[in-house]
Structure 1
Amino acid sequence: MVDDEIVTWWGLVIEGYLATQDKLMGEIADRFGLTPATFDILLRLIRTPGHQLPMTRLATEATLSSGGFTKVADRMVAANLIFRAPSPHDRRVTYAQLTGHGREVADKARQACAEILRRRVLEPLGPEGAEALAEAMRTLRRVNG
């Protein structure tokens, strides 16, 4: 591949991702009033046994600064999506844990996300194309991550 072709090709990958992510997050915001960061945190917590993670780990996984995560967490507490729970074993650790309402919102938002992805990714690419895309991204994450 010549230089212009590979740079153009990569630009198309990024533009396709950004356009799809924008539509996905737009629909999630419209339906649930969730920001991308809040949605990401809800997904991480709903998939975790006990629906809780240490706040420092959650901030790192969500790629938020400590201050940025604190602001998001404060808004999530105010919205009754999470609560802060002290660790019974280490007083330096505080967990973010889903509330009952947070579990309900996370479940519904996750279902909506799957429906949106089926429509915006799976239908246009087909099952084989979507699987190939996922495998390619898995490979890039492994070699570059």
Structure 2
Amino acid sequence: MTTPGDDELSTWWDLVTEGYSAVRERIADELTTRFDLTPTSFEVLLRLARSPDRRLPMTLLAREAALSSGGFTKLADRLCSAGLIRRAPSDEDRRVIYACLTEHGADVAHRARQVRAELLRRLVLTPLGPDAARALAETMRTLRDAQAARTNPAATSTRRVNPSPK
């Protein structure tokens, strides 16, 4: 296979970002309409739902959500006001504050995850098929891992997403 020229390479990348953006926007619109969740709020709820005891240190959540501590504090305030999370001090280290998923937050996270899965089936799986969708995921994992290795070879990210067991 020949190496692509600059225009072809740019077109490939534009197609990747346009496809991703279109799907992400549709999902974001639906989660906002149905659950009043932004993409970042949804990500935080999912991380908490998948965590042991459904809680994580707020500093870790802020880092994983790529937010400043001030930005995450505002997001946490909104999630607390909505009854989706609560703050709790650590028993071991008084400097640590946990974000804890409430029962209501767990219910919303579960229902929002189901809606997202339905949308992904319709918007990604239906047009691509399982094999192409799996290949796309593996390709994007390779790209993500290559960039992570370039920026910090020793880092192991908690953001890693592994496929569900078959």
Give the TM-score, by structure 2 length: 0.86
Distance, in Å, in 1 between the alignment partners of 2:114 and 2:51 is: 16
1:21 equivalent among 14, 24, 31: 24
Corresponding residue SS for 1:96: strand
C-alpha distance in structure 2 between counterparts of 1:48 and 1:121, whole Å: 27
If asked which structure has higher relative contact order (CA below 8 Å, sep 6+), I would say 1
Distance 1:12 1:117 in 2: 18
Deviation at 1:107, TM superposition (A): 0.7
Question: C-alpha distance in 1, partners of 2:67/2:24?
Answer: 18
Question: In proportion to residue count, which structure has more helix?
Answer: 1
Post-superposition offset of 1:111:
1.0
Give the alignment partner of residue 134 of structure 1, picking from 137, 140, 152.
137
What RMSD, in angstroms, separates the aligned Cα atoms of the two structures?
0.6
Match of 2:108 in 1: 105
1:8 paired to 2:2? no
Q: What is the percentage of aligned positions where both structures have the same residue?
A: 60
Shift of 1:117: 0.5
How far 1:44 sits from its partner (Å)? 0.7
Unaligned 5+ runs, structure 1: none
Q: Post-superposition, which runs of at least 4 consecutive aligned residues in structure 1 deviate over 3 A?
A: none
1:117-139 residue CA offsets vs partner (Å, 9 max, x unmatched): 11110111100010000000110
**Match 2:75 to one of 67, 72, 77:** 72
Residue of structure 2 aligned with 1:120, choices 119, 123, 126: 123
Structure 2 partner of 1:61: 64
